[in-house]
Structure 1
């Protein structure tokens, strides 16, 4: 058979495969790629870097898709340093964040005061996306506040995500448990210097496990999403000492369409109403930590915790409103064990609470906000867990959005029957390159 005949047959086979692929393609979608056949520009509408991957990283920060061009290194404030391939099938991003803070506290009675400078957060984050469907994310925290008092380990997030299926993406590794919104949102995008005291007590922190999720279930433009996960239940950077596991489910809807619900302020000052509502439930079996996934490990006890939460987030023309209610209940209030021949009683921590906060962006740079929160112990729980209230306000000055901002906030916090309470003021700067 002559070489000319072989070339003719090969060309014919390629044309047949190309035609078949166009028949099999769904309406409105480009045909599947055929080896050796380049699609025309008319059909090349989506970037090779899979658009089905999440629009934000596992910490809640947005991820910018690369643009066409040659292999290059791109350094942009607010996006970090990025290494991009010409084919847009590989992206490696490096970002750093620093939050210096001045804190002063004064008891209303005047008998106690604290003033200090601290580095609230010092983070480095690495994000890699490759082969159209894989994402690798690593975040390290180096400040004292970034680590637990009984165990130093800088690893906060270490996850691998497979995003080939829009409705069932898979993520494995250590990261945030999908529970309440304020916790799953990045601490870089808060309206105050820190999260609510209610969320701090009742949230579920980072853990190691696997989750299946979607940010655009059904392809309806981000109107509906979900997360379902199975975790070790012991928190981040811990080796399990029992057989208990944590199961979590979160569903949410944005009925008016997708928006930046993972950012507390309405920096875009959009003219349309944007709203997100979420609900989550979790069960942590046989945990050895008093706050389910955080707190110093019990010496001899373990408890089963049931967690529930619901949240509402609204934005409109510079106005933003976020409210959450959270609930945590243990299967029993306490356990007593013999330790070194002496009885030891250890308490669980059951409580519920809520907070609500609202802010208004007066100009592109200037925002004011207010928050109220309250925490209620349940049953004969840990005597150290008291009824708490917080009432505060904040001023934000955005030099470059959340990437470069100054936050000043004030809170009056009461605990138990002490209505005298504590005055707390914080001044915090954030640099996020």
Structure 2
């Protein structure tokens, strides 16, 4: 009996200690950080120091996929790969006003081919935030720029297995620099956000490539009916099943001075630098399981988009200029199955008409959400129509199955 009493006291002591250890700190970083480049269902695995001087959240996610592709005039083939494998660390140090976010990538498609003299692209995000109050986020480091909606959303928050053809060609993606976000989001009344960035314009993980050009980015977001449930502007589809209509309209502009890559922050190297101007307009509507999105993206250059190797006039490379529209519609059933359709058009600029085709893309997808966007099964059928300047055309298609899981 004495041993039993001692055992009960020991269990009670451990239980009491555990409750103290896991007690939630009400001053944690629950407030949305608008620059964080991910959608999160939960908080992952968290550690908070006993004196509350630091907090660390650990999260991961991966995308495993298999694709059958059939391009015109080519034999079809299968491809199986780990499309994305990400590790995320975030939290605060010293005070909840000083936060950090780190995201590392390990999948071959994320890291890219290792080339002599070039950096390995493991680091996706490494950024420090200062959040003096709920209306301001100030950041310094490498993270996503306030560009088009689909790129700002995490790839883990997508309905289809990947972003659109226009995002692939016109997005401004990540960069190193300063950002300031002024946020005014409320539940059921008019809301608005202003976001600005001053960055290098060279993209992520670039060293030894200094120049006198910087990229200036500005964005405005309007939410006339108030903020979306669970920060619903940061994931696709109405998995929150909005009880009232929620609508967002946003516009962004970037001027990237003396850029050295074909897509500004992305792409291969140009033979001469070019100043690029990018425009993004997005609209999103969600209501009772229905979700509709539309976007416009464009890129133009002040000078001719084509650059020529000064040592060999037969070699050239070009800025991908042009414009495109995306239209996406979906409905999620009570069984958490979702039907998604997307149509995209892409028209290249006049400077590169002879070098790149205009494209139309049709996609149909079925997604089963097991645990919102953090655990889902996705299937997709996509058809591409490529129209070339000489009047010829090609039709390509693929079918894909993907599993996404994470914490």
- The residue number in structure 1 matching 2:96 is 132
Give the deviation of 1:58 after TM superposition. 1.0
Aligned pairs, how many? 370
Further displaced range: 306-315 or 263-272: 263-272
Task: Give the aligned partner of residue 275 of structure 2.
Answer: 304
User: Which residue of structure 1 aligns with residue 26 of structure 2?
Assistant: 47
Matched, 1:328 2:296: no
Partner Cα distance (1:99, 1:277) in 2: 30
User: Match of 2:193?
Assistant: 225
SS of corresponding position for 1:133: strand
Aligned to 1:74: none
Instruction: Please tell me whether residue 113 in structure 1 is matched to residue 76 in structure 2.
Output: yes
Relative to its length, the structure with more strand (as a share) is 2
Query: Mean alpha-carbon deviation: is it higher for 91-100 or for 380-389?
Result: 380-389
8 Å CA contact retained: 1:227, 1:251: yes
Q: Which residue of 2 aligns with 1:373?
A: 344
Q: 1:286 to 1:208 in 2, by over 3 A?
A: same
Q: Please say if 1:288 is aligned against 2:267.
A: no
Instruction: Report the CA distance between 1:305 and its aligned residue.
Output: 0.4
Q: 2:137 matched to 1:174?
A: no
Q: Give 1:23-38 correspondences, 5 Å limit.
A: none
Alignment partner, residue 12 of structure 1: none
- CA distance in structure 2 between the aligned counterparts of 1:392 and 1:362, rounded to whole angstroms: 19
TM-superposed deviation, 1:344: 4.3
User: Following TM superposition, by how much is the alpha carbon of 1:292 offset from its aligned partner in structure 2, in angstroms?
Assistant: 1.0
Alignment partner, residue 108 of structure 2: 144
2:219 alignment partner in structure 1: 250
Deviation at 1:349, TM superposition (A): 1.9
Cα displacement (A) at 1:268:
1.5
Deviation track 1:27-78 (CA, whole Å, cap 9, x = no partner) reads xxxxxxxxxxxxxxxxxxx932366x53566113248xxxxxxxxxxxxxx4
**Residue in 2 that maps onto 1:61:** 39
The 1:431–1:218 alpha-carbon spacing in structure 2 relative to 1, beyond 3 Å, is closer
Offset at 1:226? 1.5
Structure 2 unmatched runs, 5+: 1-24
Larger radius of gyration: 1
Tell me which residue corresponds to 1:387: 358
TM-score normalized by the length of structure 2: 0.85
Q: Secondary structure at the match of 1:146?
A: helix
> Residues of 2 paired with 1:192 and 1:141: CA distance?
20
Q: Deviations over 1:303-326 (max 9, x none)?
A: 110000100011000000111000
Distance 2:242 2:50 in 1: 34
Match of 2:123 in 1: 155
Structure 1: unaligned runs, 5 residues or longer: 1-45, 64-77
- 3-state SS in 1 of match to 2:160: coil
Residues 186 and 227 in structure 2, CA contact (< 8 A), matched pair in contact too: no
